[in-house]
Structure 1
Amino acid sequence: MWLLILLIIAVCFIFYVKEVRLKLVSSPALAYFKRALPQLSQTEREAMEAGDTWWDASLFSGKPDWSQWLQTGKPALSERELDFIEHELAELMAMLDESQICTNGDLPPEVWQYLKEKGFFAFIIPEKFGGRAFSAQANSAIVAQIATRSLSTAVTVMVPNSLGPAELLLHFGTPQQQQAWLPKLADGSALPCFALTSLDAGSDAGGITDFAVVCKQEFEGEMTLGLKVTWQKRYITLAPVASVLGLAFKVYDPDQLLSETTELGITCALIPTDHNGVEVGPRHDPMGLAFMNGTTRGEGVFIPMHWVIGDVDGIGKGWRMLVSCLSAGRGISLPALSAGTAQLSARSSTAYCSVRRQFKQPLWRFEGVQAALGRVAGLSYSIEATRQNTAMAIDLNKSPAVITAIAKYHLTEMARIAINDAMDLHGGKAIQRGPLNYLALHYQGMPISITVEGANILTRNLMIFGQGATRCHPYVLKEMAAAQEQDADIALQQFDKVFVQHLAHSSKTFLKATFNGLTCGVFSSAPVAGEVAYYYKTLTWYSQILAVLSDLAMLVLGGKLKLQEMRSARLGDMLSQLYLGSCVLKKFEDDGRQRSDLPLLHYAMHFHLNAFEQAYSGFIDNFAPNGLKTLVKRWFMPFGPGIGGPSDQLITELCHSLYHNKLTLARVSNLCDTSGHTGLEALEQAFKLFPKCEQGLQKFERWQKAYQAKLLALSTEEQLALAVEECILDEEERELLVSWFESSRQALSVDEQG
């Protein structure tokens, strides 16, 4: 079967002529494709139609246009946004103490008031309604910076600026609804939440059991057409304090008051939480963090039809509304939290591994420590690159569902690796909770990012390749449309044309992938010269491999592919690593090709390309027949995988750059403001002081070792004074070491109970 497929592809290419469309597809072949192509449910179809593609389609095609990619724009903030960050955001950061917030179980009243007054809940609302009208780039950067200090506050800020009432109103609300609600949401007099998840339906929104029945009832003294809604929702962020509830439910019309159809579909509505019958249940406790999260319910609650988003025209369009807006929120919120966590991990771990000493050496000089520290820094660079470029896609008015799913899944997973490594590097200091600790609550809160807006298992196994295979492929969606055409003659005509184009495209890509395998991609074009060009060529080669394997998988498995989640997930991993690597390369160019960034770029690219190769190998091992596994692997990579993971030498070079080039550390921690946090400030002070006194410290420690018995009864201060008397240190070195020992003690201290 496999050899036959490969032979067909090669033959089709040989006989393909650019201006000639060969009629290769007959009615039996069309019938086969009707059976083989994946069938889409109504919710899947609406999701496909609501989203669009971006750079993911170019990567999936096997012929990425790198010049176009680098010219898509440079992530940037406006003067107005920068001014907000410099003033309002800086003032907010000084007010935040995550340890105290979590102890109290809530943000302080003054923080709540400040968030409302300064427009922290109004980033996406236009200025004409009193909002900030910030770009997605600014929204993301602000949430990321808050996340370095307080996850509880970051989640509180991100929710109103993500999927929820404001965004749904902007895209689908009537002018009357926009005028009624958006000014209140902008000035904070109305606080929103959005309730989608119910007891029996989480990721499967189509399985929502919350429902409404179309009816007429007296409302405000008049007989009014509306809905009687029954719901029971959970995990709803801000529900305990919200004044307006966004709600998703299914609508039924048994009396056919609106149409001859009884089941009208998922619908979204806005309901004031003080409306009769609305119940706000008990709070949840999400990993000990203090952001408001809880339940809401109602039984037979009547709402007038004009509370439905879009009024009566919005009935049954709720799912389309949600999926069209969800990608924007997913592409901003979770990448921002991931960037904040990763950059906090990078900044604090780099400083701690300099200040903390063992065996008379700073921790970072030990190779085992370098392996973890290099990983934190390299992944932080990749996370920031992807955060910036994904937000830029949204600013370009794209709704790239696949891209945002990739960002959500992989950035949260990379942030999880970064915070785990940071905890290991800090050892005992990391696990003692209190005001001096800056990692424990981020470590506790990491599973929240993994879980929300689609659990990561769902995102990886169903969404990335499940949607990417049809949305990003240049021909499959057209073939599906042709196969579903009712008129047999028209279907055959359309299908013939598209399918021959598909075969020609696939055969060309197959031969290109084969050639690039034999030459390791060296003849592929790259938009830049120098050592970075190799990565562009390799990504092009790997893009061709993905295109060929995707075609083979869809041809062999057809509609069964989306059910074979482990196989499709590996193809999704391959697509994801191509996108992540693309973002890393673009960030390097956007930042001006700084030499200090090269160790970060090399680490990130080796990490992503190696992850692609592992996914490639895993897919072949679980897809190709036993006798052909080695042949298929060697066909596209005849010399074996092109890139291993980051080498020991690269890791050491990266760690040296972190400590000897301030620009390298700044690149992976620019969002992490250490001022105002007791523990971070003490650590930062000791970290900055260490290079000034390192030489004196080495002399002092050699002297201590030589006269250890003589010095046992003396305090450190007395030993330093004696070292000056014996001309081991001069007075300036002594003063620096006095400051160093004091600042390092403060930096390494932990909180104590009682």
Structure 2
Amino acid sequence: MPVHRLLPTPEATDLLALTREIARDELAGRASADEAAETFPRDVFRLLGEAGLLGLPYPEEYGGGAQPYGVYLQVLEELSSAWMTVGVGLSVHTMSCFPLAHFGTPEQKQRWLPEMVGGGLLGAFALSEPHAGSDAAALTTRAVRQDDAYTVSGAKAWITHGGVADFYTLMARTSDDGARGISCLLVDGRTPGLTAGTPEHKMGLTGSLTTPLYFEDALVPAERLIGNEGDGLKIALCALDSGRLGIAACAVGLAQAALDLAVDYAKQRRQFGRPIIEFQGVEFLLADMAAAVQSARATYLDGARRRDAGLPFGEQASVAKLVATDAAMKVTTDAVQVLGGAGYTRDFPAERFMREAKVLQIFEGTNQIQRMLIARHLARA
């Protein structure tokens, strides 16, 4: 069912209408088949680029859409409700552009940002490693400065768009000074010495490529250092605050799709002579699902309003990520229950929604990490 949104401008209203049209006409009809075939929809991201959706929160002077973050997040929600792989992919791409857009020099932004946010390129965010997931400061991939270039060696893990990204925002160690020894490099996807490993075999988001990355003496020009040496972890954490709002919006889109499916099924499925939506056991379940979706949407919009106003929003981003992804897991599970035996089959997308929801509680900082971050904000208050 369409979500009635409060949007700030007629331009934003038109943008959401365009997004719904793309979601309906280009995404919804092929999502199940492409996910089953584990096919990465690169053509869809080209389409989103042509529609101006790959750089919505970035300045017009660099080719972006100059939209408030709250509008961009609602675009993410709409896309995710039709095809989760696409919503998550857009969120990852947007986060991959963040370091250059917010910490790059004017010369760097002028040189590289227009193509990154203008729709021609697809990005990836390379932070995690096999032994450095939640403990990002423990990463060991090393970048050694030699004259006008860095020689990068090491391995990254769980990289969305690994092997198909046109650029990677890479966090690598440039000194042994703990968390202060990590730097940010903007790496061209065609760099010699950079390769992607075998895609992971996942329980959900099977259309989204997730691979390890290997750097074997890959040369990255020193001019591609974003910020100063040692700023990398700070840059990554700032990007993750915004990225968590993106994942929250994706989670709400997925939960909304599951709710819509459950309601439609409950209206049509008849037992004991009437639609099952008329039975209190089902209608209460659906009501709780609707309340969870609307509550989760409110959390990400609250974080977005603070971000758009220039206020601190890290705590709200963690709350939104925690609440929205837990809600998505609960709502998709309940959608399977409403559909009963049909929900356990692949004839309906309910089981796929449930599988896709699980990873939302894990990436962009596990929900246990979000609870820790929220508690730290409380302790500092």
TM-score (normalised: structure 1): 0.48
Which residue among 297, 315, 321 is the counterpart of 1:408? 321
Aligned-partner residue type, residue 161 of structure 2 = L
- Structure 2 counterpart of 1:200: 131
- Structure 2 counterpart of 1:252: 175
Instruction: Give distance in 2, aligned partners of 1:108 and 1:419.
Output: 23
Aligned-partner residue type, residue 57 of structure 2 = I
Report deviation, 1:301: 2.3
- Structure 2 counterpart of 1:290: 207
Which residue among 107, 113, 129 is the counterpart of 2:46? 113
Instruction: Give distance in 2, aligned partners of 1:384 and 1:109.
Output: 28
Indicate yes or no: 2:108 matched with 1:185: no
- Structure 1 counterpart of 2:163: 240
Residue 297 of structure 2 contacts residue 324 of structure 2 at CA under 8 Å; is this kept in 1?
Answer: no
Report deviation, 1:251: 0.8
Instruction: Give distance in 1, aligned partners of 2:99 and 2:43.
Output: 29
Write the deviation string for residues 255-312 of structure 1: whole angstroms up to 9, x where unpaired: xxxxxx89961100011121121112222233242012212111232323211113xx
Report deviation, 1:110: 4.2
Which residue among 78, 89, 101 is the counterpart of 1:170? 101
Residue 123 of structure 1 contacts residue 133 of structure 1 at CA under 8 Å; is this kept in 2?
Answer: yes
Which residue among 439, 459, 462 is the counterpart of 2:370? 459
Report deviation, 1:229: 1.6
3-state SS, counterpart of residue 212 of structure 2 = strand
- Match runs of 1:579-598 below 5 Å: none
- Match runs of 1:431-510 below 5 Å: 431-434=344-347, 437-460=348-371, 462-470=372-380, 473=381
Instruction: Give distance in 2, aligned partners of 1:110 and 1:328.
Output: 26
3-state SS, counterpart of residue 451 of structure 1 = coil
**Please, which runs of 5 or more residues in structure 2 have no aligned partner?**
none
Instruction: Give distance in 2, aligned partners of 1:197 and 1:239.
Output: 12
- Match runs of 1:135-534 below 5 Å: 135-161=68-94, 163-164=95-96, 166-216=97-147, 224=148, 226-252=149-175, 265-288=181-204, 289-310=206-227, 314-331=228-245, 333-434=246-347, 437-460=348-371, 462-470=372-380, 473=381
Residue 168 of structure 2 contacts residue 186 of structure 2 at CA under 8 Å; is this kept in 1?
Answer: yes
Residue 184 of structure 2 contacts residue 225 of structure 2 at CA under 8 Å; is this kept in 1?
Answer: yes
Instruction: Give distance in 2, aligned partners of 1:318 and 1:263.
Output: 9
Residue 251 of structure 1 contacts residue 263 of structure 1 at CA under 8 Å; is this kept in 2?
Answer: no
3-state SS, counterpart of residue 282 of structure 1 = coil
- Structure 2 counterpart of 1:745: none
- Structure 2 counterpart of 1:635: none
Instruction: Give distance in 2, aligned partners of 1:107 and 1:94.
Output: 18
3-state SS, counterpart of residue 169 of structure 1 = helix
Aligned-partner residue type, residue 370 of structure 2 = T
- Match runs of 1:597-636 below 5 Å: none
Instruction: Give distance in 2, aligned partners of 1:262 and 1:294.
Output: 26
3-state SS, counterpart of residue 365 of structure 2 = coil
Instruction: Give distance in 1, aligned partners of 2:161 and 2:53.
Output: 14
Report deviation, 1:401: 1.4
Aligned-partner residue type, residue 336 of structure 1 = A
Residue 179 of structure 2 contacts residue 233 of structure 2 at CA under 8 Å; is this kept in 1?
Answer: no
3-state SS, counterpart of residue 234 of structure 1 = strand
Aligned-partner residue type, residue 196 of structure 2 = V
Residue 247 of structure 1 contacts residue 268 of structure 1 at CA under 8 Å; is this kept in 2?
Answer: yes
What is the aligned-residue RMSD (CA, Å)?
A: 2.1
- Match runs of 1:704-715 below 5 Å: none
Structure number with the higher helix fraction is: 1
Report deviation, 1:399: 3.5
Instruction: Give distance in 1, aligned partners of 2:175 and 2:142.
Output: 7
Residue 180 of structure 2 contacts residue 233 of structure 2 at CA under 8 Å; is this kept in 1?
Answer: no
Instruction: Give distance in 2, aligned partners of 1:85 and 1:106.
Output: 26
Residue 162 of structure 2 contacts residue 209 of structure 2 at CA under 8 Å; is this kept in 1?
Answer: yes
Write the deviation string for residues 183-211 of structure 1: whole angstroms up to 9, x where unpaired: 11123332211100001100111111112
Instruction: Give distance in 1, aligned partners of 2:213 and 2:132.
Output: 15
Residue 124 of structure 1 contacts residue 132 of structure 1 at CA under 8 Å; is this kept in 2?
Answer: yes
Which residue among 13, 16, 22 is the counterpart of 1:85? 16
3-state SS, counterpart of residue 160 of structure 1 = helix
Instruction: Give distance in 2, aligned partners of 1:129 and 1:379.
Output: 38
Instruction: Give distance in 2, aligned partners of 1:93 and 1:451.
Output: 28
Aligned-partner residue type, residue 48 of structure 2 = L
- Structure 2 counterpart of 1:25: none
Instruction: Give distance in 1, aligned partners of 2:375 and 2:6.
Output: 27
3-state SS, counterpart of residue 181 of structure 2 = strand
Instruction: Give distance in 1, aligned partners of 2:178 and 2:293.
Output: 51
The verdict on how the C-alpha distance between 1:264 and 1:458 changes in structure 2, with shifts beyond 3 A counting, is closer
Write the deviation string for residues 118-162 of structure 1: whole angstroms up to 9, x where unpaired: 12211122111111122111111111111111111111222112x
Report deviation, 1:75: 5.8
Larger Rg: 1
Instruction: Give distance in 1, aligned partners of 2:300 and 2:377.
Output: 21
Aligned-partner residue type, residue 213 of structure 1 = V
Residue 124 of structure 1 contacts residue 167 of structure 1 at CA under 8 Å; is this kept in 2?
Answer: no
Report deviation, 1:410: 1.6
Residue 239 of structure 1 contacts residue 293 of structure 1 at CA under 8 Å; is this kept in 2?
Answer: yes
- Match runs of 1:537-556 below 5 Å: none
Residue 345 of structure 1 contacts residue 376 of structure 1 at CA under 8 Å; is this kept in 2?
Answer: no
Write the deviation string for residues 369-409 of structure 1: whole angstroms up to 9, x where unpaired: 23322211221221122222222122112342111111111
Report deviation, 1:355: 1.7
- Match runs of 1:24-39 below 5 Å: none
Instruction: Give distance in 2, aligned partners of 1:159 and 1:376.
Output: 27
Query: Which consecutive segments of 4 or more residues in structure 1 shift more than 6 A?
Result: none
Write the deviation string for residues 413-453 of structure 1: whole angstroms up to 9, x where unpaired: 1221111111101112212214xx23222111011111111
The verdict on how the C-alpha distance between 1:392 and 1:228 changes in structure 2, with shifts beyond 3 A counting, is same
Instruction: Give distance in 2, aligned partners of 1:340 and 1:143.
Output: 8
Aligned-partner residue type, residue 465 of structure 1 = A
Residue 271 of structure 1 contacts residue 307 of structure 1 at CA under 8 Å; is this kept in 2?
Answer: yes
Instruction: Give distance in 2, aligned partners of 1:286 and 1:262.
Output: 32
Aligned-partner residue type, residue 240 of structure 1 = G
- Structure 1 counterpart of 2:37: 104
The verdict on how the C-alpha distance between 1:266 and 1:75 changes in structure 2, with shifts beyond 3 A counting, is farther
Instruction: Give distance in 1, aligned partners of 2:178 and 2:93.
Output: 34
